[in-house]
Amino acid sequence: MTEFHLSPGVTAGRLGAEAYAENFSDLHPALDSHEALVAADRCYFCHDAPCITACPTDIDIPLFIRQIATGTPDSAAKTILSQNILGGMCARVCPTETLCEEACVREVSEGKPVLIGQLQRFATDHLQAQEAHPFQRSASTGKTVAVVGAGPAGLSCAHRLAMLGHDVTVFDARSKLGGLNEFGIAAYKTPAGFAQAEVDWLLQIGGIEIEQEKILGIDINLAALNAKFNAVFLAMGLNGVNDLNINGDDKSGVISAVDFIADLRQIDDLSAMPIGRNVVVIGGGMTAVDAAIQSKLLGALNVTLAYRRGRKQMNASKFEQDLAASKGVHIMTNLVPVAINGNGSVREIQFEYVDADMNGTGQMVQLPADQVFSAIGQTLDCSDLPALEQGKISVTGAGKTSIDGVWAGGDCATGGDDLTVTAVAEGRDAAMDIHAHLIR
């Protein structure tokens, strides 16, 4: 665990047990059966539904909602999971407000979309509570595939390949599977160990062997994998973080927001998680927002999220920005960090205001801080890779790389948005391309 006891203002146990439980309860409580039927009844079941086009995994949304409306939630779940095997997690963390629900005809006409995400969760939770896995493994093809990375893309690819009869070995750098879903998502979005439960459920398909604490370029190498297996899929995500590169960024109390979120997700007792009195988060994406909100939920008195551009340019959705504001996070824009001050430990951080073209204005602002979380992007930190493009593995089509027999997907590869649902789609599509390659 990252060391957070770094200054007098950083301490654990700021809140009582009841406050922690309430603050980190489910962000969107599950619908009950009656609520699901009422929500499903609002769907127009559109022909050529725009919500399907807006879904990166092409789920037949009107069909699964109709199945819920007719009292067959397990059939609805199978409709979802046939396209998105991590549909339960995506129902919790997808920015549905900017994807399927934004495209919903009800949203366009009334400003109130069908609750697609919550209905998806209702169906997938219902099915995953059953004992039997809904998909059967095909007869063995005798072909073997190595998947590097047990995050959304890797697990999606592994499941589809196993279902098609191939023998899959998943290599992961950590001692716990799930990747971003386990280590990178805010704790209040996936409480009660859901990420691990979903992984365990997914592995019931069979045909998937797991090798943990295996790092590409250190414990395993690409050439050896390519020689041993019939195909390789790279999905290790982005394992490095960008540095602030400002004066004082080496002071105690300056921490990667990625590490903070990962540690918070793994801690058993929230009252043991240290947090500052004055917290400043630098960045404008989901990681920054998650770090800021959770700092407030842990009991930080003042939390400021500082971003170098305007609100409209933030990668975090408007819903997430509004959620942060509702929790008491102060969002400041058009600020670039200049220096971090303090005697050994961070005491304050200095910013300069910039204009729309990112030119400095000369106007400065100092914010008190005993903890600074940096969330200014992640990088691919590995040398044992196919050809790169702008710091990611260059891919064409359904994930083909510059090396024959090697595919890639998810955050480590060029392609779509850095979203869980996009990674799932890329893993699934790469699996189908690998399958076509293996059986030709």
Cα 123 to Cα 72, 76, 101, distances in angstroms: 9, 6, 17
Beta-carbon contacts of 16 under 8 Å, excluding residues fewer than 6 positions away, are none
For 236, phi and psi rounded to 5 degrees?
Answer: -85, 0
**Lookup result for tokens 């093809």:** 141
pLDDT value of residue 131: 77
Whole-structure pTM over 0.85, yes or no? yes
Domains of the chain: 33-128 (1.10.1060.10), 144-239+380-439 (3.50.50.60), 241-377 (3.50.50.60)
Which residue in 132, 152, 140 sits closest to 57, CA to CA? 152
Q: Is-contact 102 53, C-beta < 8 A?
A: no
Assign 326 to helix, strand or coil: helix
Cα–Cα distance for residue pair 286/376, rounded to 1 Å: 11
The helix or strand, by DSSP H or E, that contains position 330, with its residue range, turns out to be strand 330-332
Beta-carbon contacts of 367 under 8 Å, excluding residues fewer than 6 positions away, are 278, 280, 304, 306, 348, 349, 350, 351
Please, is 197 exposed, middle or buried when counting C-beta atoms within 10 Å of its C-beta (0-12, 13-18, 19+)?
middle
Beta-carbon contacts of 307 under 8 Å, excluding residues fewer than 6 positions away, are 282, 283, 284, 288, 313, 314, 331, 332, 333, 334, 335
Positions of E strands within 71-215:
144-148, 167-172, 208-212
Number of Cβ within 10 Å of residue 308's Cβ equals 19
Cα torsion angle, 419, 312, 394, 211, sign? negative
Which residue in 93, 111, 89 sits closest to 102, CA to CA? 111
Number of Cβ within 10 Å of residue 384's Cβ equals 16
Q: HSE, CB side, 13 Å, CA atoms: give it for residue 12.
A: 12
Q: Residues in the chain with pLDDT < 50?
A: 5
pLDDT value of residue 418: 83
pLDDT value of residue 5: 47
Cα 265 to Cα 24, 146, 196, 197, 292, distances in angstroms: 11, 28, 12, 14, 15
Strand 348-354: give its sheet, edge to edge: 335-341, 348-354, 360-368
Cα–Cα distance for residue pair 294/20, rounded to 1 Å: 11
Q: Is-contact 244 349, C-beta < 8 A?
A: no
Cα torsion angle, 228, 425, 216, 382, sign? positive
